Amino acid sequence: MFGDSSAIPTLSPGDGSITSPRKLDANKLEEQMFGSEGSGGRSVSAVYCGKGLATCLVWGGEGKDDVLTLHAPNVPDLGGGSGTVDLEGVTSIAGVSVGSKHLIAWGSDSKGEGVALTMGWAGGVNEGYGNLGLGANIGDGGGVVGVPTRVTSLEEDGTPLTGASAAGSHTAGLSGATNEVLTTGSGQYGRLGNVDAVDQLFFEPVELLMTIPEVKYTKVAAGNSYTLVLGDTGEVWGWGKNDKGQLGLGGGISMDVYAMENMPNKIELFDVMGVEVRDVAAGKDHSAAVDGEGRVWVWGGKSGFLEPNLVEGLPDDCREVMCGENVTAVVTGKGEVWTMSHGGNGGGVKKGVLGRGVEKGDRVPGMVMGLSEEHTGGVIKGGEVGWGHAGFVVEG
């Protein structure tokens, strides 16, 4: 892991920024998360870095139920500490998404049926309600749900989640069973995609997307106040706040601070250029995509582009893309991780989140040498770039 040390398990804020990948001490990590009892023979199988200073780890083992641990010492809404999170009834965790103040986890129970759980900040008067998708009158006096709680409405509606993305004040989900994109939370800036800028207390389908024939939705990505979705046709739709060009729709040189789209709009440039997108990511206010030829495109935020722009200087076999705050990372077919930043002197970032031995940013793409097979002795199994830190699991 690398970046802001306060978000990294086994490290303290006093360690400063971690500018190059640092291997976590397995024994120390296990003791910190599970106490003296240990993990029961499990090992870390996945890492999820939040849009704040939280990190989730999934622990699994042959013949054992998956277990989730959470490190969020500076995030009171997520418990403000480190330890095991009780996911009662969930035996296999398929994925986790950590927003700035809340999280969503999805997987299956012992019967193989889909389950989703949310916890953390339930919303407020100024930011809007419903980002947990649990309805009204939830949480304690501070509006916080302190333990993972099943989103039973998804089970009742027959829309188990196969993907999800938590942001600041909203959550987006994907149900493979019904091919629906669902959103819940604050309706401000149209980030829910259902025309009216009103809050939704439960997950509701984005209605316009249900009218597009012969498209299977494969990924959803929530930025701070906007949402992107990818179809198996290689097309990308976006909605929500667009003051920084994060929706990739083009526009004038000076975007209005209230610029927004309250329903899905397709990024037409990809169609015009004959580009089929295979992966898409949303950061705080910029976005990125990988196409079928292994090329990377960025737009919005401090990238300086209101429509997708092809990135030069990257390998031609990129297969996965991730966005942080003014940072884009890609994983190549060879298992290499490359990072770059956007905007300002030094690239507009700090805290060593590029993982390339520098405190600030660099607009020129470069490989994270500390994650190469030569340095780790293994290959990248998976990972994520958060808004201020990053983590990867290496198998070898």
Mean pLDDT by 10 residues, the chain (396 residues): 92 82 92 89 95 94 93 92 90 96 96 95 89 80 84 96 96 97 96 93 96 95 97 97 94 71 96 97 97 97 94 97 96 96 81 91 95 91 94 92
The answer to whether the CB of 113 falls within 8 A of the CB of 158 is no
Reading phi first (left if > 0) and then psi (alpha if -120 to 50, else beta), residue 344 is in left
Q: What is the pLDDT of residues 124-157, one digit of tens each?
A: 888 899 999 999 767 655 689 999 999 999 999 9
199 CA to centre of own chain? 21
Instruction: Domain ranges for the chain, please list them.
Output: 109-211
Residue 345: both structure tokens together: 């002197």
> How would you classify the pairing of strands 337-341 and 327-332?
antiparallel
Task: Write down the pLDDT at residue 139.
Answer: 60
Task: Write down the pLDDT at residue 254.
Answer: 53
Task: Write down the pLDDT at residue 272.
Answer: 96
Task: Write down the pLDDT at residue 253.
Answer: 52
d(C-alpha 229, C-alpha 315), whole Å: 25
Whole-model pTM? 0.95
d(C-alpha 107, C-alpha 48), whole Å: 15
Q: What is the pLDDT of residues 28-39, one digit of tens each?
A: 999 999 988 889
d(C-alpha 194, C-alpha 178), whole Å: 18
Give start and end residues of each alpha helix (H) in the chain: 26-34, 152-156, 268-272, 373-376
Residue among 350, 314, 346 nearest 331 (CA) = 314
Sign of CA dihedral 268, 269, 274, 280: negative
